[in-house]
Amino acid sequence: MKKIKSALISVYHKEGLELIIKELSEKGVQLISTGGTHDYIKELGYEVTKVEDITDYPSILGGRVKTIHPKIFGGILSRRHKKEDREQIAHYTIPEIDLVIVDLYPFEETVASGASQKNIIEKIDIGGISLIRAAAKNYKDVVVVPSSAYYEQFLTIFNNKGGCTDLTDRHFFAGAAFNVSSHYDTAIFNFFNTEYKHSTFKQSFIEGKTLRYGENPHQKGFYYGSLTEVFEQIHGKEISYNNLLDLDAAINLINEFKTTTFAILKHNNACGIASRKELSKAYEAALAGDPISAFGGVLITNKTIGPRTAEKINKLFFEIIAAPGFEKKSLEILKQKKNRVILHLKSTCFKNLSSKSVLNGVLVQEKDNITETENDFKTVTFKTPQSREIEDLVFANKIVKHTKSNAIVLVKGQQLLASGTGQTSRVDALKQAIEKAKENGFSLSGAVMASDAFFPFPDCVELAHQAGITAVIQPGGSINDQASIDYCNNRGMAMVMTGNRHFKH
């Protein structure tokens, strides 16, 4: 056990600090501070020594240099058990420092606020990060509180142990310190590496949680990040690993639509989605797309859910419902099932990079942010799609972009009729979609087809024509494109190309 006799305090956020100052002072701990933190402690009415009074140097360079001095870092880094260290700090009149409390400049928050380059650079903490690392390195003698997130935890230990800490406590806080400092440095590096000039991958998440399990019950699962930035959980059981995968797919899909749209997903793919003027009608059309697969699925919409829609949804067994809002009566209806997860979606700006672990490494790519509109269509057949078909082609192309490859999507009247997902053959994907549509009682006469990649042979457009499909959207790019175009021309079908493939694996 080591008693805390002196503490250096230099923090940006003062919230929660007052109680620590009070407890430290009442136990006779000497307080050392500088700048705004020193003034804050003085205003609270407690005795505090200025760093400048120890170093005999003022704060210089506009506050850039305050604590970086041998008389400060010597007091933190001195090894109490080493005779040589004790002799040196005595010779140079260096006071030992037993506790370091730091809360760094808010670099990430400053970047996120859209601040100027000058302001961002000034929020790169130098002294604070050095204090944290020094105190953590010397954890056998010094305890470090590396951010305001640890104030309460430190205070509990300090009070319970009579103003002392043991080696286990100091080791824990040292780990926390390097967690904070490495995360901080990662954020700074990524700010400077926005053009990817340095071929280095660095990601850091300061928050994390243990999930019930991973993809299967025998696998451990974890999530790192801040889910509260994306949604607020209003009701229901703990969200699982697979739920999070489905939610990621669902949110990315629904963000493609501005008009009133409802989607139902299963295993990251849409099994039902439709756009209508009324949300309840959109839900009914989405459910009709595949009512069997909808069982146990994830439901999502881009509009506030009212009682009429909630009553209809409540008849279905599902895992999650996510929406930007819920009317009070709707929540009363939906909360009738205690395990049903209800999520209030927030407006979130997602990062432009996605990553995936592969072969003991990481694959990183820019997200597929291209969403084609009618202006991006190039009609390659004699027949031009009708206005109704164009609307459906745009709709279908958004869905196929978010469907596992090889993917085929069939749409009519802004409603997903069926899709073929994750097939090794594009022909098999189409056959799967046609069969699924028939099973659910849909006529494909006048429907449109979307493909995530080009047709190497005309077999897909031939099957589509035989099923009644009248218009096709695909990227194009095959050396054999003309064969599919010729078939469409000979059968009076319309085909547009976008020039953009949308593989999703």
The residues that are catalytic are 137, 267
Least Cα distance to 175 among 204, 228, 141, 137 occurs for 137
Let me know how long the chain is.
Answer: 505
Q: Both tokens of residue 242?
A: 């697979």
β-bridge partners, 419 = 409
Which 3 state secondary structure label does DSSP give 60? strand
**Longest CA pairwise span in the chain (Å):** 97
Q: How many CB atoms lie within 10 A of CB 438?
A: 14
Alpha carbon distance 87, 452 (integer Å):
73
Alpha carbon distance 333, 168 (integer Å):
50
CB environment 143-168: b (16+ within 10 A), e (fewer): bbbbbbebbeebbebbeeeebbbeee
Q: Both tokens of residue 307?
A: 């009682």
User: Which residues does 326 contact at the CB level (< 8 Å), separation at least 6?
Assistant: 234, 304, 305, 310, 334, 342, 344
Least Cα distance to 34 among 3, 77, 72, 70 occurs for 72
User: Which residues does 389 contact at the CB level (< 8 Å), separation at least 6?
Assistant: 448, 470, 471, 494
Residue 297 C-alpha from the chain's centroid: 21
**DSSP one-letter string for 206-237:** S-EEE-S-SSSTTS--EEES-GGGTEEEEESS
β-bridge partners, 274 = 262, 415
β-bridge partners, 357 = 362
Alpha carbon distance 264, 274 (integer Å):
9
Peptide bond into 193 cis (omega under 30): no
**In what side-by-side order are the strands of the sheet with 448-451?**
378-379, 494-497, 471-474, 448-451, 408-411, 416-420
CB 499 within 8 A of CB 477: yes
Alpha carbon distance 183, 347 (integer Å):
25
Least Cα distance to 330 among 315, 308, 345 occurs for 308
